[in-house]
Structure 1
């Protein structure tokens, strides 16, 4: 670079500027793929959802209870066993989502909650339905609901306020 040259003269054009007088091409292209996967050691959690059970993991060593599946305790390293979670929880915290992935676009805005259960050490992330966002509050008693046609995904469970049908 010569002393008289400036970075502006030698650098490429900034993004968003016409390159050689041509606007950037934008092409819409459909993309689809079949993805085969296994839940492996977490399979009982998803089978449980299909049967209306919410399963967590309890440490065989220190008895720490996880609301989400774990094969080994993150506190002491011991193995865990499956245990049913209570079917009554409370809103620990929540957020209202005004944008979501393709699966949730028709449901926006939707509410995500972290659910706390009695005698469980961790929280469970899920959707909260059948309530207006302005009515949700910390401590609200809620219960899980399960889809009638299981897809073996985490969306097979959601929560609703205790009084809803």
Structure 2
């Protein structure tokens, strides 16, 4: 019988390092214009065709009234609404830890946009700071093709 806290048969736990690799094929469907916009240095949200509610992230239909939405170009500058510092991330972000995630407020948008903040140590980030969107030179058609930097570094 094994006692609590002891190792069975005096053997250390077996640890196996195994590589995992998979290719995914997926479609952005109605959100495709958002990702195409990133390749052109544009942030595209959506605006309700009935009530005018404006989304910083794409929506096919308004979450307020249910009407269809239309594409709406957002400004490239905004303000930090809130932020968090991540000391661990998914595989794609491990080399960047710690990194800062921010929710960006845009003039004219009723919702927030989640992105990374680059170019500033996490302990210097402040709510209300002006930020500006930056885009990958070589797009990968992922949300990481856009990030924000402090606007005062212009």
Shorter-chain TM-score category? over 0.9
Q: CA RMSD of the aligned region, Å?
A: 1.8
| Cα offset, 1:158, TM superposition | 0.3
Aligned to 1:125: 114
Deviations 1:113-160 (A, max 9, x none): 000011110000000111122221111011100010000000000001
User: Structure 2 residue aligned with 1:93, among 82, 86, 89?
Assistant: 82
Larger radius of gyration: 1
Matched residues in 2 for 1:164 and 1:13: separation?
60
The 4+ residue runs of structure 1 with deviation greater than 3 A are 16-24
Q: TM-score, normalised by structure 2?
A: 0.92
User: Structure 2 residue aligned with 1:111, among 80, 92, 100?
Assistant: 100
Structure 1 runs not aligned, ≥5 long:
1-8
Tell me the secondary structure at the aligned position of residue 82 of structure 1: strand
Structure 2 runs not aligned, ≥5 long:
none
Q: TM-score, normalised by structure 1?
A: 0.86
Matched, 1:39 2:32: no
